[in-house]
Structure 1
Amino acid sequence: MGADGSGERMQVVVVPLPAQGHLNEMLQFSRVIAGRGASVSFVTTSTHIHQARRRVEGWDLHKFDIRFEELPMPHLTDGEIDAQSTHLFPFHLIPLFEAVEDQLASHVDQLLSTICSENNSKVVIVYDSCMGWIQTVATKYSVPAYVFRPTGSYFNLWIKRVCDKAWPHINISLKRCFPERLINYLRRQRALSAPAKGCIMNTFSALESEFTHQGKEELVYDGKPVWTVGPLLPQAFFNDEWRLPLKADTECLRWLDTQAEGSVLYVSFGSLSSLSATQIRELADGLERSGQPFLWVLRISDGAHFSTEVQFGSACKFLQQGYERRLEGRGFIARNWVPQLEILFHKSTGGFLTHCGWNSTLESISAGVGMLAWPLHTDQFANSALITRELKAGVEVKEWGSAEENEVVSAEEIEKAVKRLMGSEEGMQVRKRAQELRGEARKAVGGEGSSWNDMDSLLQHFSQSFPD
């Protein structure tokens, strides 16, 4: 029986933004709906399909009905990484997003035409909210289309109120979070998304129900239905025995095995941002002074053309000579892609110094790991406020000001913040709260949990959207 409740299989076309966090969320979404009986076509550039497949954690791609449909990489006249840049936002990715829209619409049109002819109109399309131009193609073929928002309810409410000049709680300007060029791009995508039938979100009721409800009331979602179906993680990571079948044989995990339970601070700023040379040195000094064991992923941002794993080590050149040797045994610096979920769920991991990207936020909550919040751009300042002020599952590295420029965080501030999370009574309460939220996340995705039921409701809505 198909996911639409009939004998016919439902074909769901999933189109993510070609950036790691977005690819990951929508690939995990594809896994869940494929597990419920849908046949999935995952559509993005050949380069980013390779990236998503290589980095997926916790499940075997071959066990799910997910077909990867490759689009050509667009031609880019811009988009090179400047490893010396002091800007925290990955400006080099904006030309990629624009080029995908400008150059690949005809390819998506042709692909969707073929899929529709092969599936007798039992086709639904789910596209990233940053890819609103997909809606135009879907409308041409009368395919029911849904928007997938890879951000949380709190952020969506925040950005609406900031634009309406009605949110005093986060003293950070929109300009600091989003370059004007990206704002213009996103506004165009939102306008194009108007005909969508509803909104899918990677969050869960116990985490953000208050803010999801407020967003509905304030028409953040344009009066459309909203389904909260997260956290979109493999179910095995909520199983106490996950380490046995899933654990990768990587050096960083073997190092974690040698550390005391709950003692290690995991440090990572995600796949889309690089720190300046000055900030890297301050962070290195602060971690050393804290006396805390740490596992630090030190890398530069993914490039527009490809992931930059071969360049990971280039950021390490900014460290003081002899730093790694001096901290051998207490500090581990990873130069390659690491299995973040396995690190967060490892018994030795006791805290997460994070940029507060939405994937990292949900993964840390799902693992029950308290966070040290260091937002850099986009939704991350709102996520930081959610984590520290609303959920009480983390503490801020510092109090973020309203300056347009991104200030350097000093070694002294970093040392103090690490000790606050890892060695104080406040930090103990934060970690206890994180464990409580882990339990709520597990309930949400379990049978008859809030996210489980919303996924059922979503698939039913899919089936009701087909023409008679």
Structure 2
Amino acid sequence: MSSSRDQKLAHVALLPSAGMGHLTPFLRLAALLTARNVQVTFITPHPTVSLTESHALSGFFASFPQVKQKQFHLLPLEENSADPFFYHMQLIKSSCHLLSPLLSALTPSLSGFITDMTLASTVIPITQAISLPNYVLFTSSAKMMTLFLSYPTLAGSKALDDLDETDVIKIRNVELMPKSLVPPPLLQKSNNFFKNSFIEDGRKVTESCGILLNTFVSFELESLRKINDGQVLERLPSVVAIGPLPPCNSEKSQLQLTWLDDQPAGSVLYVSFGSRTALARDQIRELGEGLIKSGSRFVWVVKDKKVDKEDSEELEEALGIKEDARKAVGFGGSSDKGLTELISMWKHF
């Protein structure tokens, strides 16, 4: 009988896209796979779009030396974008043709390759050419995935034309989605990078070997059921909920949750305008003063720049807000079954 040492370990590579909202789930998944005795190679696009990404990567590899880092050097583009994250995403997509020799050279040979949803259209043809199973990590919710899968059809129809702010968008076999929840670039009639990518990636993701979602069944039962039953889109690969992905050790030292843990259940107001919404400092100051005067306990996620590379001072100091405005991140347990089945399959690849 062969010992456990003789058993083949799965070797999986991961490639995130631009922005902490995409990088963080990939780091957490890498940590989770490592804990399950999976050999992980983490491919890092270079350069990063922000200092926050660089610090997160440095902290992660210091905490997980067993994860192999492989830099993916991006080719420069002549045309620039006003949005640094979209530009960086475009850099990654336009450099993806360089992935084939990089992936083929990894040893031992890969059992699977997990890529970001925003890279599906450029990465899947490459992995198909080298017969490498490609899985997509969808970093948003199952509800957003219903839009992702449906948008190529919606964009080709008149369903999005002439909608008022109060109107809703009809997604096949899914409850109506308010227009206000749809990313603004997707509502523009003219072409733009995000809109075109959303269409291309939404079409190509159907050719992946499977889709992983950072959500959990009890939270989005109905959306997940309709996706996997083919009610949103037919001929879709398996969609597996593997979340919520817990923070890895390199994150936990940065979280300041003591105050939050001491508050009564249901007593804290969470305030956030999203990871891509940067507010002017006078707006933030006014909002902060209002929150303080309200007398409510609150957790406030503050962002005053799209990219942090030019920040030279602490936001709290610049605004005169210290202990009254705190930043925090919530986390919970992780789903086991779907991920365990994938790892078992990779070991036999």
| TM-score, normalising length: structure 2 | 0.75
Residue 147 of structure 1 aligns to a residue in which SS?
A: strand
Letter in structure 2 aligned against 1:101: K
1:438 is matched with none
1:273 is matched with 277
Deviation at 1:274, TM superposition (A): 0.4
Q: Which has the higher helix share?
A: 1
Deviation at 1:253, TM superposition (A): 6.5
- The answer (yes or no) to whether the contact 1:20–1:272 under 8 Å persists in 2 is no
Separation (CA, whole Å) in 2 of partners of 1:316 and 1:10:
48
* Alignment pair present for 1:171 and 2:163: no
Query: In the TM superposition, what are the counterparts of 1:277-296 in structure 2 within 5 Å?
Result: 279-280=283-284, 282-294=286-298, 296=300
1:92 is matched with 84
Aligned residues, how many?
A: 318
Separation (CA, whole Å) in 1 of partners of 2:273 and 2:114:
28
Residue 91 of structure 2 aligns to a residue in which SS?
A: helix
Letter in structure 2 aligned against 1:34: T
Q: Relative to 1, partners in 2 of residues 1:212 and 1:42: Cα closer, same or farther, differing over 3 Å? A: same
2:112 is matched with 124
Q: Relative to 1, partners in 2 of residues 1:260 and 1:229: Cα closer, same or farther, differing over 3 Å? A: closer
- The answer (yes or no) to whether the contact 2:148–2:202 under 8 Å persists in 1 is no
- The answer (yes or no) to whether the contact 1:199–1:221 under 8 Å persists in 2 is no
1:144 is matched with 133
1:200 is matched with 212
Separation (CA, whole Å) in 2 of partners of 1:113 and 1:58:
28
Letter in structure 1 aligned against 2:73: P
1:349 is matched with none
Match of 1:135 among 124, 144, 164: 124
* Alignment pair present for 1:452 and 2:341: no
Stretch of structure 1 that moved more, 190-199 or 12-21: 190-199
How big is each residue's C-alpha offset from its partner over 1:189-225, in whole Å with a ceiling of 9 and x where there is no partner?
2334443111111111111122101112224474211
Deviation at 1:160, TM superposition (A): 4.7
Letter in structure 1 aligned against 2:221: S
Q: Relative to 1, partners in 2 of residues 1:170 and 1:105: Cα closer, same or farther, differing over 3 Å? A: closer
Residue 131 of structure 1 aligns to a residue in which SS?
A: helix
Deviation at 1:130, TM superposition (A): 0.6
Separation (CA, whole Å) in 2 of partners of 1:274 and 1:66:
33
Deviation at 1:277, TM superposition (A): 5.5
Q: Relative to 1, partners in 2 of residues 1:223 and 1:235: Cα closer, same or farther, differing over 3 Å? A: same
Separation (CA, whole Å) in 2 of partners of 1:75 and 1:312:
30
2:27 is matched with 27
How large is the RMSD of aligned CA atoms in angstroms? 3.9
Query: In the TM superposition, what are the counterparts of 1:200-239 in structure 2 within 5 Å?
Result: 200-216=212-228, 217-220=230-233, 222-234=235-247
Separation (CA, whole Å) in 1 of partners of 2:43 and 2:58:
19
Seq. identity, %: 20
- The answer (yes or no) to whether the contact 2:27–2:60 under 8 Å persists in 1 is no
How big is each residue's C-alpha offset from its partner over 1:23-79, in whole Å with a ceiling of 9 and x where there is no partner?
110111111111111111111223439744633799885446311111224425424
- The answer (yes or no) to whether the contact 1:202–1:229 under 8 Å persists in 2 is yes
Structure 2 segments unaligned to the other structure (5+ residues): 160-169
Separation (CA, whole Å) in 2 of partners of 1:313 and 1:74:
33
- The answer (yes or no) to whether the contact 1:147–1:199 under 8 Å persists in 2 is yes
Letter in structure 2 aligned against 1:224: P
Query: In the TM superposition, what are the counterparts of 1:176-187 in structure 2 within 5 Å?
Result: 176=184, 178=186, 180-181=191-192, 182-187=194-199
Residue 114 of structure 2 aligns to a residue in which SS?
A: strand
1:369 is matched with none
- The answer (yes or no) to whether the contact 1:148–1:200 under 8 Å persists in 2 is yes
Structure 1 segments unaligned to the other structure (5+ residues): 81-90, 237-244, 345-362, 367-441, 446-450
Letter in structure 2 aligned against 1:170: M
Letter in structure 1 aligned against 2:225: H
- The answer (yes or no) to whether the contact 1:34–1:66 under 8 Å persists in 2 is yes
How big is each residue's C-alpha offset from its partner over 1:410-447, in whole Å with a ceiling of 9 and x where there is no partner?
xxxxxxxxxxxxxxxxxxxxxxxxxxxxxxxx4xx3xx
1:78 is matched with 80
1:113 is matched with 104
1:67 is matched with 68
Stretch of structure 1 that moved more, 259-268 or 136-145: 259-268
Separation (CA, whole Å) in 2 of partners of 1:267 and 1:65:
37
2:167 is matched with none
Residue 68 of structure 1 aligns to a residue in which SS?
A: strand
Q: Relative to 1, partners in 2 of residues 1:64 and 1:154: Cα closer, same or farther, differing over 3 Å? A: farther
- The answer (yes or no) to whether the contact 1:130–1:186 under 8 Å persists in 2 is yes
Q: Relative to 1, partners in 2 of residues 1:170 and 1:5: Cα closer, same or farther, differing over 3 Å? A: farther
Match of 2:302 among 298, 301, 306: 298
1:14 is matched with 14
Query: In the TM superposition, what are the counterparts of 1:30-69 in structure 2 within 5 Å?
Result: 30-48=30-48, 51-52=52-53, 54-55=55-56, 61-63=62-64, 65-69=66-70
Match of 1:332 among 311, 322, 325: 325
How big is each residue's C-alpha offset from its partner over 1:4-36, in whole Å with a ceiling of 9 and x where there is no partner?
997222210111112111111011111111111
1:190 is matched with 202
Q: Relative to 1, partners in 2 of residues 1:258 and 1:106: Cα closer, same or farther, differing over 3 Å? A: closer
